[in-house]
Amino acid sequence: MAKEVWTVRQLVAHLTSIVTKDAKSQSLRVEGEISNFTHHASGHMYFTLKDESARMRVVFFARFARYLLFKPKNGDRVTIRGQLDVYDRDGQVQIRALEMRNSGQGDLFTRFQYLKEQLEAQGVFQRAKRTLPAYPKSIGLITSPHGAAVRDMITTLQRRYPQAKVLLYPVQVQGDVAAWEISNAIGEMNRRAEVDLLIVGRGGGSIEELWAFNEELVVRSIANSTIPIISAVGHETDTTLSDLAADVRAATPTAAAELAVPNQEELKSKLDAVLVRLETLPKKIFDQRQLQLSRLMERPIFQHPDRKLVPHQEKFQYLTKRLHQAVAAHYAKGERSLERVIHRIQSVQPDSKISDARSKLQRSSREQSLFFQQYMERKEKQFSQLVTRLESVSPLAVMKRGYSLVYRLGGDQLVTSADQVNPGDLLDVQLAEGKLKCQVWKKEEKK
């Protein structure tokens, strides 16, 4: 008689029948430590329940999980009341939890807390963080050479910033020798001094699989590194002691690569923006200065520069007239005094007195002439300085260098732009010397 050949589906159904018919497996209590905990958006919870030598998958549906009095997490030691079940898709035996209570923290979590407190008390996590280089020339990756994590990091680094050289230092990231290899790799990279930045990490996993990154040997190696280090261990919800000791903690290996280097496309965009600004800035400055000059030329002093000189010319004429009057009065007074002296001399006829008086008269005449000459020279010098100062601010001085003022014929509006006139218009052109009557033949707009 031929032996019956079962399909996989039949075998899984048979296993399910055995499990569901067993009274003990349908009403059991089991204690263990939570690992790989996931709380789905639907409210369902999925995790692994383990002890020192075995583990089993657990599903805790939302209709039962909503009665929990605590928030489960990795490392919690719990007691579960539930039933054994078989997951049809992969034939795996699992526990379908009906009730769960917290029975204390797991051994690994207790050890994690102890190490964290010890290292924190020694200041390992409080040291000054090293600044990541903005544009690293070379980056060292300390991770497993296999798996998605190393591929994602290398791909991201090459895509974002291919100028950086990437050096891989392969290590085991879980197991008995993982911590020693990771620590040794960090030390070797520091001794070689070939890279500007280190990324130390791996993909996600259970607390046991990530434990190498909680070992004191690895944590101290990260803290003592002279090269800045980004820690990229597991997923965003995973936290290790290496994360606390590193200079920067990344949620994932891919995120670590993004933190390590700039995006070359963004750098190119910034450079293009700077080049555009450098091209447009001179023209912008020229336009601003031209506008300022146009506004300056519209001021009254440049519209009618001769009006600014009129008050000063009138004052000069007034002072000159006063000066002549003062000199004439001084001479007249001197003549009268001289006449009186001569009259007295003639009345007594003393030769010696006449001679002395003549000498005094000549000396006085010379002194008066010298005084008048010096006085006139000072006034002329002051006048010349005043004229020089007026000329320095006068638009006439600018016009002597070839510039001119253009007005509409018979008007006083200054023409500063080709937009103000049309072909055939008549214009007055004021030169430094003289004026011109002109007619617009053609105009060219500013380009």
Could you write out the DSSP letters of every residue in 104-162? EE-HHHHHHHHHHHHHHHTTTTTSPPPPPPSS-SEEEEEE-SSSHHHHHHHHHHHHH-T
| Token pair listed for 357 | 């008086």
pLDDT at 355: 73
Cα distance between residue 416 and residue 300, in whole Å: 15
Cα distance between residue 134 and residue 157, in whole Å: 14
Task: Give the pLDDT confidence of 342-362 residue by residue, as tens digits.
Answer: 777 666 655 666 677 778 878
Q: Kind and range of the H or E element at 427?
A: strand 426-430
**Paired residues of 47 in beta bridges:** 58
pLDDT at 334: 83
pLDDT at 286: 77
Q: Tell me which amino acid residue 66 is.
A: R
pLDDT at 144: 93
Q: Kind and range of the H or E element at 76?
A: strand 76-87
pLDDT at 348: 62
Cα distance between residue 164 and residue 259, in whole Å: 13
- Mapped onto helix, strand or coil, the DSSP state of residue 180 is helix
pLDDT at 433: 81
pLDDT at 303: 65
Low-confidence spans in the chain with pLDDT less than 70: 1-2, 104-107, 301-310, 345-354, 392-394, 396-397, 446-447
pLDDT at 447: 61
Cα distance between residue 246 and residue 259, in whole Å: 13
pTM (predicted TM-score): 0.47
Of all residues in the chain, what percent carry a pLDDT higher than 90? 34
Burial class (CB in 10 A: 0-12, 13-18, 19+), 300: exposed
pLDDT at 350: 59
pLDDT at 308: 66
Q: Report strand pairing: 45-50 vs 55-60.
A: antiparallel
Angle between helices 216-224 and 107-121 (to 10 degrees): 30
